[in-house]
Structure 1
Amino acid sequence: MEITLTLNGKKLTRMVEADTVLLDFLRKEGCYSVKRGCDTTNCGLCTVFMDNKPVLSCAILAARAAGHSIVTMEGMQQEAAEFGAFIADQGAEQCGFCNPGMIMNAIALLRENSEPTEEEIKEFLAGNLCRCSGYEGQLRGIQNFIAWKKAQAQA
């Protein structure tokens, strides 16, 4: 079947099989930040934005993305790099495998709530699997990023 969607700001029309998962479609299009970790919607590694909302691309058929706007980390390099530096500063990117999903979800959180509490951050990121860290570094990185953004806004 033929689908048309916008991927990282570019309109695409492609042929896909009816059972093609969005995750596989995106990787075929060169979006390697989108990763397969569990195929059960439990790890967050495949998080992308669909119409500016975070979704798990392993749980959506590519055909369901037709007519929608999909953004991966490749489509938001500057914002992701800016935020990712705060995660790296806390040593929370040990192997880096979980970083794209973690960053996408943290950015989604901050777009919805620019001043989340520690508990709100933990709740929002609960679906992100990281096997290297105890999540404290990511939490500190997010909190430091929020403080930096606040200082930037006041300057």
Structure 2
Amino acid sequence: MKVKIFLNGEKIEMEINPLKRLIDVLREDLNIKSVKEGCGEGECGSCMVIINEKVYNSCLIPVGSVNNKKILTIEGIENKKILKEIKRRLKDEFQCGFCENGMLISLYALFKKKRKPNKEEIKEAISGNLCRCTGYQNIVNKLKIWKNS
């Protein structure tokens, strides 16, 4: 099947098995390494991407289902002001870093939609991201303080 996606603002067309997982297409075919596979079951959030402005686990998405859609990874938003500020606020919060890109994608999507989310909305945004090292409370607190200032 011919699939066309708009990855980080770039139009990409490829002949590919429509059932191949999006994470595999991103990592293997398009060399996007920020999208990591942790569980392969949509539980950990390390493979998060933004598809048409909503956050999804790319390990659960067949590439055929994103035909003609806009996909954003960390590479596509790393120069955005919102992401830079989130990263600045959370500097040194991620201990091993494995969950970091998924968390940043989830938080970027939240702050892009809502300028001043409350504590519960921040918690909800990162609820799909598993972090065994850092935990969540410091992340929530640092972002809550920033948005309330």
Same fold (TM over 0.5): yes
**2:19 is the counterpart of 1:19:** yes
Cα deviation for residue 108 of structure 1 reads: 1.1
**2:89 is the counterpart of 1:83:** no
- The C-alpha deviation readout for 1:15-62, integer Å capped at 9, x for no partner, is 212321001111121211111111111111111111111111111101
Runs of 4+ in 1 over 3 A off after TM superposition: none
- In structure 1, the gaps of 5 or more residues are 151-155
- Assess if the C-alpha contact under 8 Å between 2:116 and 2:147 holds in 1: yes
- Give the partner amino acid of 2:42: T
- Give the partner amino acid of 1:71: L
Aligned to 2:8: 8
Cα deviation for residue 127 of structure 1 reads: 1.2
Instruction: Return the alpha-carbon distance in structure 1 between the equivalents of residues 62 and 12 of structure 2.
Output: 16
- Assess if the C-alpha contact under 8 Å between 1:5 and 1:13 holds in 2: yes
- In structure 2, the gaps of 5 or more residues are none
- Assess if the C-alpha contact under 8 Å between 1:92 and 1:137 holds in 2: yes
Aligned to 1:124: 125
SS state at 2:101 partner: helix
Instruction: Return the alpha-carbon distance in structure 2 between the equivalents of residues 140 and 30 of structure 1.
Output: 34
Say how many residue pairs are matched: 146
Instruction: Return the alpha-carbon distance in structure 1 between the equivalents of residues 25 and 145 of structure 2.
Output: 35
Instruction: Return the alpha-carbon distance in structure 2 between the equivalents of residues 57 and 5 of structure 1.
Output: 14
Identity %: 34
- Assess if the C-alpha contact under 8 Å between 2:18 and 2:65 holds in 1: no
Instruction: Return the alpha-carbon distance in structure 1 between the equivalents of residues 88 and 35 of structure 2.
Output: 19
SS state at 1:19 partner: coil
Q: Under a length normalisation based on structure 1, what TM-score does the superposition of the two structures give?
A: 0.86
